[in-house]
Amino acid sequence: MPLNRSTLIRISTIDRCLQNHYRRWTIDDLIDACTDALAEYEGRCNRVSRRTFQNDLALMRSDRLGYNAPIVVRDNKYYEYEDPDFSITHLPLNDEGIDALNSALDILRQLQGFPQLSSSIDIISKLNEQISRHTGNSSPAMDLEHVPGYRGEQFIGIIYDAVRKKQTIEVEYKSFIAKKSRKIILYPFLLKEYRNRWFLIGDNASYTQPNVNTLALDRIHSVSVVRRHTFKKRIDFDPENYFEDTIGVTRDIDDIPQRIEIKIDRSQAPYVESKPFHRSQVVEKRFFDGAILISMKVIINNELERLILGYGGHVEVMNPPEFRERVAESVRIAAANYNKPVE
């Protein structure tokens, strides 16, 4: 059984419960605690099965991770540690456990901006200290992109909770072009990350017609839950599919994806093929000089234009004509800037 993040959360929860000697824990109590932990940390609503729970107990009792947890059942009903001072965080781990936990640590370290994970991060920190003592080296093997001091990071937790719990929020927001901030009552639908920036997708409650608004978290000044204002899902918003035809976060609910054709030169073709612009990307033609013609079906927006411009002269938009002209105009403006003498 792999020690994935969910398994780690359940094992940590069971350990925390069994260290609490002020109550007696039945199997249902422990399953409820694990279910609540997964709901809090991962947004899962399904109840943990007895089979999964029994597998977790077997893993804790075994030597696979070096725990050998002395879990006993009293009165054929109540689970507890035979040694009241026992905790899995106090024990050395075997090599397999160290490898598994190091992998989990590398991922969980990137999520410390979420206050919902604070109790797990505390457990992870203790485990990290043990690994350091055991191996003398706890350097991570993975480094995800992260912007230190990101301005909207402090709002991620409260917005995440509001989305998950379907709570109306009031947001004080100031766009880059606005002279002053304004307060918006919002029904939050989704938190989305794009290129190290976070965005809140929701419905502005003050509008008479249902709508989808996208707010950048780094332009938000404050967020508060408005309990007097009942959450209303006024629009059929599908978080899994809303951005399916979109590169980035800019789109309107009525936008229709279009077929885009782009020619990629020989030097960049391997990179674009190995990391497609979009999941709908297809290679339509291969030229004798190594260039390729790709097509994709996406919504035309600023992010798409910036992605294409980022490749400079290595790419050329072929169709549709209006988007080709839009990109060409941006290239002309850029060229004109470089034709000016440097002051």
CATH architecture, domain defined by 258-339: 2-Layer Sandwich (3.30)
Domain spans in the chain, listed from the N-terminal domain onward: 5-135, 153-225, 258-339
Return all residues near 62 (Cβ < 8 A) that are at least 6 apart: 68
Residue with tokens 């994970």: 117
The gap from C-alpha 31 to its chain's centroid, in whole angstroms, comes to 26
Mean pLDDT in consecutive groups of 10 residues from the start of the chain, 343 residues? 74 91 90 88 81 92 84 92 85 59 59 55 54 53 62 83 89 88 91 87 85 89 90 81 91 90 95 92 95 96 94 95 96 91 81
What tens digit of pLDDT does each residue of 312-332 get? 999 999 999 999 999 999 999
Q: What is the pLDDT of residue 272?
A: 93
* 153-225 CATH: 2.30.30
Residues of 65-95 as b/e, b for ≥16 C-beta within 10 angstroms?
bbbebebeeeeeeebbbeeeebbbbeeebee
For residue 25, the 8-state DSSP code is B
Within the chain, residue ranges assigned H as helices are: 5-18, 27-42, 50-61, 95-108, 118-135, 156-165, 269-274, 302-309, 321-339
Measured CA to CA in angstroms, residue 13 lies from 60, 89, 111, 331 at distances of: 12, 12, 18, 56
89-131 pLDDT, tens per residue?
775 555 655 566 666 655 555 555 555 555 555 555 555 555 5
